Amino acid sequence: MGYTGYTSKRPRSILVIVGGLVATFSLVFGAFFATPQLHYALTMDPTPVEMTWQELVENGLTDNAHVRLTDVAMLSENPLDGFDGLPGLDQREQQAMFLQTFAGEKSPLIVAPTGDAANSVTTPARIVVPYFVSSIESAYEETLTSGTLTGRFTLVKSNDSANEFADMLLAARSGDLSGFSNGMGLGDESDGDKNGLDAMADDVGSIEVEDGAELASDETNATEPSQEQSQYVFEPIHSVASPQQAIQWFVLSALGVALGLVVCGAGGPSILCCFFFQGPSLLSLLGFPMRYGRPGLITRFIYAAIGISLVSYGYEQLTVTGRIDQLDGDLAYCVLGYLAVSVGSAALLGVIVSLAAQKLSTSTKPKTTTANKPNSKMSYAQACGMEADDAIGTRRYVQKQLSISDRSPSGRVNEAAEKLVKVGFSVPKTLTGRSAEGVSIGSVQLGCQDMVVVETEDTDDELQMRMISILEDGLTLITLSPGRCSVAEKRLGTSGYYSVCPSDDPEVLFSFHLEQTVSMAEKRKTVIVSFDEAELTDVCEFANRIFADIQTQYGEAYFEIGDARHGRFRYPPQPIRQEKSKAS
């Protein structure tokens, strides 16, 4: 049995943990991957811009970071060549060994112009390839094949002590690379062994390409150590997502953060959750005013205002301050905008979920008796202003006395009862009711594993049937056959729930009642009470009292119903004590 209205709310730590983990993962994914990828995708066109090495370093990038450099070559040998063909290593192990070897390498691989363009280098800017396996493979393969380099180029500025690229070209002309062996990752040089450096100097000073041109430089390319140095970093085109895919990642990550925060805020952490999952537990405090039906109109308005403000602020940071669709955009402000949009969306989603949950709960939450009970007291002015038709009189509820005999009913009552016997109900017994209005005769049966009581009565005009079940938390469920003109189709009160079946067939009525009972038991997280044959009159009398109370709550009848006890069943309703023999 779950938590009902008679007990306090239990903690929902699973929501806190799952929601917190989803929000954290989505936040990290969006901040460190989705947002940068969106910036890269929005600043690139499908068609690359063709430029020479000199045009790129002198004029810079246009509004398109997708560039194809012509007449370029790599300044050094491919570092991956030393890891190919190692015995006992597959490609993945070779790449792992390569990354481990060059993990601390600070000097990237340099892209240089070829032919006559190399002699006109007048800027300290340089184009580099970072030590990533995919970048190195793409750069060396394309430059060796066609002498071009196609991909995304990003401008990175830094203050360096000297322009190593210009000095590198000068050293290559002079054949002296001793000062750059460690900085460029060419190895340590000893006094007795300079063959490796001399060979590298020859390669740098004169790199043969397909058209026979050579790399060269002039001494005027040397720069002062204090000069600011800029670099263009190469990325292969396949490492950048398409605009459609980048937008999908960005939106999904933002929705993941919003949904995770809503789920985390909807749960209440337990003591163990607060001890082992401090982060999600603290995060769940954001939804404390919105959980367990606490929020009112003002609370929802505040959350909605905060959400709209954060979304607006995040949009401004993304588009105006961060310039996510421009090359000179600032990723730090873009990430800040992403965080603001995600948290603002969570606040708005929390308001929507709160409204939907409140609307859904009205279908299962009983209405209070005080709000619907007719007021029998009025002021003197109200009493004087009443007309005869406006007067509403209440009367004390008088219980109808019922008795059961073993004789079989007759007529239409017996025919309907026999149909229920075929589906597992007991043999019908005669039920006699005595009240101030007269005497009524019908039948009563018990079935469905002793969880449903059926009353059948033959009036002058029609055959009326009523099925009764009671939940363990005290709620009574009544299903009526059609034909009662003064009865509404369905009503839910604090003490019970009744509905009218559209068919008067006994088997259809039983199926309809069983469906309603099981559904209500699942919603309230409780079970159905089992009856004993000796309790049939108690159940029927208790159901009559509950039916009168429901009609009074909705203003369809006006009874003053006092406290009463019918065996195990008490009014006002209380949780039912299940019999041990039945519960086992």
Exposure string of 114-137, with b = 16+ CB inside 10 Å and e = fewer, is: bbebbeebeebbbbbbebbbebbe
- Please tell me whether residues 25 and 89 are part of one structural domain: no
Residue carrying structure tokens 């070897």: 101
- Please tell me whether residues 20 and 103 are part of one structural domain: no
Residue 184 lies in a domain: yes
Tokens of 221: 């390319």
- Please tell me whether residues 234 and 263 are part of one structural domain: no
Residue 50 lies in a domain: yes
Q: What is residue 255's DSSP assignment?
A: H
- Please tell me whether residues 102 and 77 are part of one structural domain: yes
The range of the structural domain enclosing residue 423 comes to 394-583
Sheet containing strand 476-480, edge to edge, reads 401-405, 429-435, 438-447, 452-458, 463-470, 476-480, 496-500, 490-492
Last residue of a domain, one of 315, 346, 361: 361
Evaluated on CA atoms 317, 245, 238, 24, the torsion sign reads positive
Residue 174 lies in a domain: yes
Last residue of a domain, one of 178, 211, 239: 239
Tokens of 542: 């208790």
- Please tell me whether residues 487 and 504 are part of one structural domain: yes
- Please tell me whether residues 546 and 438 are part of one structural domain: yes
pLDDT tens-digit profile of 20-65? 899 999 999 999 999 998 998 888 888 888 988 888 888 888 888 8
- Please tell me whether residues 183 and 324 are part of one structural domain: no
pTM of the model: 0.48
| Nearest of 55, 79, 76 to residue 232 by alpha carbon | 55
Backbone phi and psi for residue 226, each to the nearest 5 degrees, phi listed first: -85, -5
Residue 380 lies in a domain: no
One-letter-per-residue 3-state SS of 517-562: HHHHHHHHCCCECCCCHHHHHHHHHHHHHHHHHHHHHCCCCCEECC
325 membership: H or E segment, kind and range: none
pLDDT tens sequence for the chain (584 residues):
333 333 345 567 888 889 889 999 999 999 999 999 899 888 888 888 898 888 888 888 888 888 898 888 888 787 777 665 444 455 555 555 655 555 555 567 888 888 655 555 555 457 888 877 788 888 898 888 888 999 888 887 754 433 343 343 333 333 333 333 333 333 333 333 434 334 333 443 333 333 333 333 333 333 333 344 678 888 888 888 888 999 999 999 999 999 999 988 888 788 888 888 888 888 888 877 777 666 778 888 999 999 999 999 999 999 999 989 888 888 899 999 999 999 999 999 988 888 887 777 655 555 554 445 455 455 555 555 555 555 556 778 777 778 888 777 777 888 888 888 888 898 888 888 887 777 888 889 999 988 999 998 887 677 888 999 999 988 999 998 887 656 788 888 888 998 988 888 889 999 999 999 999 999 988 899 999 888 888 899 899 899 888 888 888 877 888 888 888 888 888 888 776 545 44
Last residue of a domain, one of 239, 272, 304: 239
| Nearest of 248, 304, 287 to residue 19 by alpha carbon | 287
State whether residue 224 is helix, strand or coil: coil
Residue 372 lies in a domain: no
- Please tell me whether residues 295 and 443 are part of one structural domain: no
Number of separate domains in the chain: 3
What is the spatial distance between Cα 286 and Cα 273, in angstroms, rounded to a whole number? 16
- Please tell me whether residues 205 and 253 are part of one structural domain: no
- Residues paired with 433 in a beta bridge: 402, 440
- Please tell me whether residues 223 and 79 are part of one structural domain: yes
Residue 1 lies in a domain: no
- Please tell me whether residues 104 and 229 are part of one structural domain: yes
Query: Alpha-carbon dihedral of residues 347, 349, 350, 353, nearest 10 degrees?
Result: 170
Residue 6 lies in a domain: no
Q: What is residue 293's DSSP assignment?
A: T
Exposure string of 342-377, with b = 16+ CB inside 10 Å and e = fewer, is: bbbbbbbbbbebbeeeeeeeeeeebeeeeeebeeee
- Please tell me whether residues 247 and 234 are part of one structural domain: no
What is the spatial distance between Cα 10 and Cα 3, in angstroms, rounded to a whole number? 7
Q: Measure CA of the first residue to CA of the last residue in the chain; give whole Å.
A: 15
Q: What is residue 343's DSSP assignment?
A: H
| Helices vs. strands in the chain: H and E counts, helices first | 18, 19
Residue 368 lies in a domain: no
